[in-house]
Amino acid sequence: MKLMIAGGTGFIGSNMIHYQVDNTNNQVTNLDKLTETSNTRSLGRARNSLRYTFKQVDLLDQQRLLLELEKFQPDALLHLATTNNISNSIESPDNTIQNNCFGTLNLLEAVRAYHQELPAQRQQSFRLIYLHPTPSTHNTSPCCYSRQSAAELVLTWHNTYQLPALTLACPASFGPCQFPEHLIPNTLLTALDGKHISITEGEIEDQWIYVQDLIEGINQLLVSGQPGCSYQIHESHRISRLELTCQICDILDELQPQPSSYRNLITFAEPGIQELAGYYSLKTNEPLKKSQPLPNEWLPTTPLKTALETTISWYLNNPDWVTSITSGEYLKRRKTPTPKKPW
């Protein structure tokens, strides 16, 4: 199979590329704009594979997208190139809407033009898969609304133009190569720095899936997913913020012990901007209307403790990657505003 991944230098994309290079004979092309959420270090040795190709492409450049599609001739495309930073979307909603909605629109139109020129048999077997978070009933951020809007666009292009596209809604994912603004790596790195771990007061429960389980689920759809369907991962790890933080601290106590337990760093605080925007919610994994479970009765299999241990071990064993993300150069790039473009 020839697999094209839009946004392959991000967290899920880089893990997917590692899986494809290490466990399949598939050829992979990675389209990525290389924004502040990208890190080529996350690709590691996969960058040296003869079956991997990188192309720096902006989803707003429809002609370039079509050119790369025609060159590579993919059998499937995985769309991961949406902005997922809650705080940035609130501070700069226009950039978020441009990338998530108009970028997805351009990608769909480029894929539609490419798909129309394929032989009949390849048209039938081609798949476009869009991954997005399960929306919260309390979520009010531009980021989450725009990603859900992109999902609606994908299904509309199937219904209107018979593009063989489908969507997958999933809970929050975690694992190696995730940026530190996300809860689990943020908690881990804060604890390692010996700083207070601030937890929002109240029994906030989150839904989590280990990234390797998520990749297995995506692979199910690449093989057996039906066009026009809206899939959802219903089974996942539900755990309170406090319990999750305690588990991370306990694992650190085992892997990198200090004179005092990491649990002593836990403090309680008022809700922050992400909580107020509905980023974490007890209802984040409620069944969507017309959604269905993944084919072949697929369910995630990795126990939460095993997944956390593997993730924490990866961060402890890859200090250079952590330094590249927490360095002044990276933080400066994160704070540099993206030039605005007219809609």
Share of the chain above pLDDT 70, in %: 86
The reported pLDDT for the residue numbered 196 is 95
d(CA 238, CA 252): 21
d(CA 100, CA 277): 18
Q: Is the pLDDT of residue 337 over 50?
A: no
* Better pLDDT: 97 or 321: 321
pLDDT, one tens digit per residue, over 12-61 is 999 999 999 999 999 999 999 988 778 889 999 999 999 999 999 999 99
The answer to pTM > 0.85 is yes
Map tokens 């063989």 to a residue: 164
Indicate the pLDDT class of residue 236, thresholds 50, 70 and 90: confident
Residue 203 in domain: yes
Residue pair 5/29 in contact by the 8 Å Cβ criterion? yes
Q: Is the pLDDT of residue 338 over 90?
A: no
Write down the H helix ranges in 7-141: 11-23, 62-72, 86-91, 93-97, 103-116, 120-125
Q: Residue 98's CB: how many other CB atoms inside 10 A? A: 20
pLDDT, one tens digit per residue, over 125-157 is 999 999 998 866 556 677 788 888 999 999 999
Indicate the pLDDT class of residue 202, thresholds 50, 70 and 90: low
- In which domain, by residue range, is 233 found? 2-335
Residue 266 in domain: yes
Residue 343 in domain: no
Short-list 46, 1, 57, 39, CA closest to 19: 46
Residue 264 in domain: yes
Residue 65 in domain: yes
What is the number of structural domains in the chain? 1
The reported pLDDT for the residue numbered 50 is 96
Residue 154 in domain: yes
Q: Which CATH number goes with the domain that contains 27?
A: 3.40.50.720
Residue 340 in domain: no
pLDDT, one tens digit per residue, over 93-109 is 888 888 888 999 999 99
Short-list 159, 205, 170, CA closest to 11: 170
